[in-house]
Structure 1
Amino acid sequence: MGNKERNPMGLGVLTISSAFLGFFRASPSQPQAPGCPSLLLESESVSLSGLPSQSASRLVGTFQEEGQQDQRKEMQVLDVTEPFRYHEDRTMFHAIVAIKNQTQNQIVRVKVFHESFKTNFLPLNILVLSNYIGHGGFVEVYKCTSVEKVGYEDVPVWLINMVTENPKISHLRQEAPNTIVNGVFLVSKKVVRHPCVYYEVQDETGTMQVVVYGHLTGIPCERGNRIQLICFERGEEQHQLRSSIHSFLKVI
């Protein structure tokens, strides 16, 4: 496996030589909620049975190019969410892809703002994109983006497992502010303080506060539920995760 390095944003970057089994063949930060200060929650223990137990090491990096990108870019879909509504009648979905470069491949996050592209963004599909946007470390795909499926390839199971592994709270506390976080956590407490909802989540390594606002505050969720978080950010405070306009929360 190639060298794993750290970037200034605190995100892991996986670089793999282009000679390494071909293209993985088998063998911006959004504004935060105003008026939502940190809220100390009194911890309450609940059962942790059935929760994922993987390491928090993340292999997803930041997309370095900014602005409109006209050149064709080949990538393979490793993971994808279902479409969800993030603002009034606007929908989107998130994906994690491996971008194929001449010398190395990089794993990055994609925001897709055109739901019809979901038929192309399926795990293991190889796509070629052009006329997309680089913004805030993400690839952003819109209706005007050209999305072409050019193939399908299996990838090693270990790669999918590492990309989708569940982070440990103890490791999240050590990440840099604004680090993007995906994961499944157990809710041990809930407090409503308009305009925000505060959850305390826990695993066997500790607890963390999750602050949500906007469209996410209306999702029914109570103590003892497990929640899936997509595109949350590590807050300025070590113990806190915060939602943004493109975050997704689901009770599972």
Structure 2
Amino acid sequence: MHIFFSVFTLSCIILFGLASPNKMVIIPIIVWTLALSAVSSLNVFLAFPPSFILILVSILLLSISYYRLSKNANSNVYYLLGIHIFRIPIEFTIFQLFKHNMLPIEMTFLGWNYDLFFGITAILFLVFSSLNPKTLKSVLFKAWNILGICSLLKVVVIGILSSPLPLQAMAFDQPNIAVLQFPYVFLPTIIVLIVILSHFHLLGYANTIENQQNTYNRKIK
């Protein structure tokens, strides 16, 4: 599982870089990934779980900063949709972690994690948008992105509340210890970060296309 999960993480980073008009955008993410790899490989988070709170705060600040800097970038929507397809194998990896008593059932598709749905529907949007680009400005596509963001945030909250941190409020019999060790530390720190950002970029793309169409329609009238 370690190798597969590392490959999934690397694939998400590569697709995110390819989606951006500025290919240098993945350099900070790569540096962040290498730093997390070094620290988690030394089992620092397992030995002292409260230290992981600093990582979570850093991720929040990093995601906000990155989105503010790149929200107007002309990203490739097809690569962004490709990122969401990896939610399918990642979800099955999460289920295997549950079976190995490394995280609670609430974080799996048997609980409150709907990544399988969003991964499968990402494939459908990818297919239909290649046939009809207007699919990517539809109300359905916008709703899909909004629901995707909400779903991810819900799982993030569950993951935090079930981790052996001072904030733990659930899953005391089977806490979320997977994210405290390599390579599963990449789940909240890299993969969730990239997936949420890609949702925001796709939502921004849909709104931009709609606004451009409305402007064009007003001009021809």
TM-score when normalising by structure 1: 0.24
Which structure is higher in helix share?
Answer: 2
Which structure is higher in strand share?
Answer: 1
Higher normalized contact order (CA 8 Å, seq sep 6+, divided by chain length): 2
